Amino acid sequence: MTITRLKTFLGAATIAASFLGGAAVANADSLEAIMQVGKDRTSAARSSQGKIDRLADETRDLLSDYKTVMKQVEGLKVYNARLDRQIANQERRIADIDQSISDAAIIQRQIPPLVTRMLDGLGQFIDLDMPFDLDTRKGNIEAVRANLDRSDVTSAEAFRQVLELYSIELQYGRGIESYSDTIEVDGAAREVDVLRIGRVALVAQTTDGAETRAWNNTNRSWETLSSADYSAAVRKAVRIAKKQATIELLNMPIAAPEAN
């Protein structure tokens, strides 16, 4: 009886030990599986973090490239705006030049008639002025008039030459001048020294000093002057005009302005 119970106990213990051993083995396998899952998760997490880091780096690079491109775009916008303003300004200048060319063509067509009228007016002025340096003054007018028909002389050049003649005539109204000339008095030619004082006096004296005359522009004639009053003074003035004597005050036959 006792032996039988002992065998039964030993059998039960053997069975329990076998069960416990199997459970221990099962638990060990489960723990290893759990640890493997943890390792796999860690490896997957590490791989995912690497992908995240790589994507973050790529995102930063893309953002940096985007900012760089946007700066270039802003710079190009400013540059293009400046170019637009320059182009608009050039277009206005082109329009102004085109208008100037059109106006120049009109002006160029109007210059020859204007030059002709200016020459005619200057010729009439010389005819009505005191008769000094007539050959030179009228010769200059004819030279410019001849240039109007020359193909190598532009209208602008002809206009410049006319303005130069007007400037020369203006200068005649200043200063003092003396030169030798031949004048006609009472139907006879006389060799004289001519003295011009601006446009206020034109005096002629024979080379021997015997006769002195003054031009009366109203009567368009040479009038005799008193030798006692003017002969010596005119002779002195001629020397001053030729820079052969020093300047001094002299008694000259200056025509007084007439009251209207």
What DSSP assignment string belongs to 195-252?
A: EEETTTEEEEEETTSS-EEEEETTTTEEEE--IIIIIHHHHHHHHHHTTSS-------
Q: What is the pTM of this model?
A: 0.59
pLDDT tens sequence across 194-214? 999 988 899 999 888 888 999
Domain positions in the chain are: 108-172, 176-260
What residue has token string 């002779």?
Answer: 235
- By the 8 A CB rule, do 237 and 176 touch? yes
pLDDT tens sequence across 121-131? 999 999 999 99
Which helix or strand (DSSP H or E) is residue 185 part of?
Answer: strand 176-185
- By the 8 A CB rule, do 158 and 148 touch? yes
For residues 187 and 185, what is the distance between their CA atoms, to the nearest angstrom? 5
